[in-house]
Amino acid sequence: MKVENKLRDKIYKRILNKKGEEDGEGGIDFNKLVESNVEKLDINENDKNLIKTKWINILKRNAEKYGKVSDGNKIKIYNTGYSCFKNILKSIDKCKKRVWFESYIFDDSDFAEQVVNSLCNASKRGCDVILLVDYIGSLKLKSKWVNELKENNVNVIFFNTFLNSFLNILPIFFRDHRKIIILDDSAYCGSMNISENVIPNISNIIKTDKDEKLIDIEKECQLDNLLNDQESNNIEQETFTNGVLGKQNKCLEYYDLHIKLKGPAVKDLADVFIDSLKMANTDIIREPIENQKKYDDDDSSCYVQVLESNVLRKVKSIQSSFEYIIKNGATNNIYITTSYFLPPGFLRRALFYAL
């Protein structure tokens, strides 16, 4: 059995290496990558050398075990639903090829209705539009919206319905918690659902110059370095109404993080969406998307590894990476931001190990 496992691991490693060569990922210089980042730290040379050695080993190990690594990417981090979804809706409105939209929660809020409208409009323009939502998480999604989406040729898929569970296709507690958006040449992922908890005090995203308190948020979105030069040079005084001036909603606003991604990693993230389609027991399937542009000449470009989790397939690359980094990467501090802190036993042990 041990011999078989070793042989399997060697074959898997060879497949990953081959994939890296085909995608141009095998040429990543981890030494240069780590050194360029560590040199920016204001610490002594001794500590720098220790950190370099540690993180070169961590990145190499993760790339070897889990694949899906690339450099030449650009990312933008959002911590407000306003700026994030203003950018998302604008990006959807410009799409010409695809809008693949995956979310755990899709509720019946005014905000959700605007997303529905954007998806319908994208389909009318000829885009390949897929909306994949979790059946339990999206129980509030209005039937009339589903009908409207389907009438506009949007592929609507509910992940793991009660019927699937009844037929023992998937266990009822196996839910789709992914929040992924794949567009023409960009992608979004993170923890933001389509819920009024993300933007609780908004009924419309429209042009206005009256809401001074939110103009800074809009400027931040417009100055996003992921936008092209023309977009960045044409900053409009657009913002959200009803976010401050409108009627206040009693709904609790969640603190979530989301990222916008451009570069080769978009293709890797699209593969995760395709995996969700396969797990959803649907006839709708998609092939991997085309290779994406690399931003090698940009000083802000970065290295990205796309990790995924699928407990039914025993894929735990996210959790396993956390465990290894906590044990081998942390020196002084570990900061955790998470919606739910329910770590499995091996992660709890890793945290105690780091104390």
Query: What pLDDT digit, counting tens, does each position of 251-305 carry?
Result: 778 889 999 999 999 999 999 999 999 999 999 999 999 999 999 887 789 999 9
CA nearest 187: which of 297, 304, 299? Answer: 304
CA count, 13 A, side-chain hemisphere, 11: 6
Q: In the chain, which segments carry CATH 3.30.870.10?
A: 75-279
Q: Running along the chain, 355 residues long, what does each successive block of 10 average in pLDDT?
A: 49 46 64 92 92 95 94 96 95 98 97 97 99 98 98 98 83 94 98 92 50 51 50 39 45 89 98 96 96 88 94 91 93 88 93 92
Cα 329–Cα 333–Cα 334 angle in degrees, nearest 5: 75
Helix (H, G, I), strand (E, B) or coil at 137: coil
Rg of the chain taking only CA atoms, in angstroms: 22
Q: Where are the alpha helices (DSSP H) in the chain?
A: 2-22, 30-38, 45-66, 81-94, 110-124, 143-151, 162-166, 215-222, 229-232, 265-279, 317-328, 345-354
Residue 290: DSSP 8-state: P
- How much is the pLDDT for 219? 56
Q: Is the pTM of this model over 0.85?
A: no
Q: Which CATH class is domain 75-279?
A: alpha beta
- How much is the pLDDT for 101? 99
Is beta strand 98-103 parallel, antiparallel or unpaired with respect to 128-134? parallel
